[in-house]
Amino acid sequence: MIYLPSKDRYKTMQYRRCGRSGIRLPAISLGLWHNFGGVDVEENFRSILHLAFDSGITHFDLANNYGPPPGSAETNFGKILKEDLSAYRDELIISSKAGYTMWDGPYGDWGSKKYLVASLDQSLKRMGLDYVDIFYHHRPDPETPLEETMSALDLIVRQGKALYVGISNYPADKAAQAIAILKELGTPCLIHQPKYSMFERWVEGGLLDVLGQEGVGCIPFSPLAQGMLTDKYLHGIPDDSRAAKSTGFLQKSQLTDQRLDQIKKLNAIAQKRGQSLAQMALAWLLKDERVTSVLIGASKPEQLADSLKCLDNIAFGADELTEIETILK
């Protein structure tokens, strides 16, 4: 069956300017970190991508190592792009990244010019693209000079392989240095992708201020704290949950009695707002105008549809914010 996107796809989504650039991103972007790899069901992730575009999500966020296995999310995305979305390429913002381990040997990791250029070439091949819209350095490299890494990003734009560049996981001081170098090179930093949620707030210790002052967008990942900010843990830790198995990034030890108590109290506020806990957690990030977009994952279309409802109410009263802060402290 031929996929025809909804004619109303741009009617309900909110779009926000990314820093001081000409680009506007959807308030909710779709990340392909999990659920789009070679181990996943194509019919399911195809449905998620269709629903995303039908809902006005124009930004799809990938990286070289997304899968599993690494690279397979880009391959799968490229297949669906070719079969269903190629006519709409100019309506899409597609991003990729390099910085974590991708292949063996000394040139498949971190931040050298050799690695970043080679990795993007491989990503373009996997996705069947001439260019990505945004290319990120995925994490700071303590050993490669920042000038080398940033000059690689500048080169990639000049080669026409990316339109914009960004950084991810950079602390405030390193981010400020990277932004300054890119500005000097003539390829401004468009966006920063940090881990940020109600439970992970390091970005408030200076990074958000840097981004606001420099006119750089912010797109938080893991906004639901690996599922802790959902209704999954309201009644303890289910046996089939990620936390119970302690696989991946969420460990059972993180769900202390204090954390579970916070989750219940936050959920009570969300219910008063007419939202699920997940919807409130996303809205809470979007209340800050320095946040351009929030990056969500989805394991099924229904989950994505539920998350999108956060946009129905992103305003918070002063009392609500005080109550939330009291719980989080």
Q: Among residues of the chain, what percentage have pLDDT more than 70?
A: 97
Measure the CA–CA gap between 200 and 178, rounded to whole angstroms. 23
The domains of the chain are located at 15-228+279-317
Tokens of 130: 């001439």
Q: Contact at 8 Å (CB) between 109 and 102? A: yes
Q: Which helix H or strand E contains 269, and what residues bound it?
A: helix 257-272
The predicted-structure confidence for 52-67, as pLDDT tens digits, reads as follows 999 999 999 999 999 9
Residue 250 has pLDDT above 80, yes or no: no
**What pLDDT, in 10s, does the model give residues 12-37?**
999 999 999 999 999 999 999 999 99
What is the arithmetic mean of pLDDT over 84-94? 98
Cα–Cα dist 205/259, whole Å: 22
| Coil, helix or strand at residue 105 | coil
Alpha helices in 72-143 (DSSP H): 72-80, 113-127
Report, as an integer, the average pLDDT of 157-186.
98
| pLDDT over 90 (residue 252) | no
Better-scored residue on pLDDT, 171 or 237 = 171
Cis before residue 69, ω within 30 degrees of 0? yes
Q: Which amino acid does the sequence have at 59?
A: H
Q: Is 30 helix (H, G, I), strand (E, B) or coil?
A: strand
For the chain, percent of residues with pLDDT exceeding 90: 92
Q: Which CATH class is domain 15-228+279-317?
A: alpha beta
Q: What is the DSSP letter of 90?
A: G
If you ran DSSP here, which 8-state letter would residue 202 be given?
A: G
Q: Structure pTM?
A: 0.96
Dist CA 106 CA 110 (whole Å): 9
181-189: long-range contacts (C-beta < 8 A, 24 or more apart)? 181/146, 181/147, 181/150, 181/151, 182/150, 182/153, 182/154, 185/150, 185/151, 185/154, 186/154, 187/153, 187/154, 187/157, 187/158, 188/21, 189/165, 189/214, 189/216
Q: Is the model's pLDDT at 249 over the cut of 90?
A: no
Helix (H, G, I), strand (E, B) or coil at 163: strand
Place of tokens 């931040």: 111
User: Which band of pLDDT confidence, cut at 50, 70 and 90, is reported for residue 83?
Assistant: very high
> Which helix (DSSP H) or strand (DSSP E) does residue 207 occupy?
helix 207-214
Q: Is-contact 296 224, C-beta < 8 A?
A: yes
Element (H, E) at 297: none
Question: What pLDDT was estimated at residue 247?
Answer: 62
Calpha distance 60→30 (Å, rounded): 5
pLDDT of 193-214, one tens digit each? 999 999 999 999 999 999 999 9
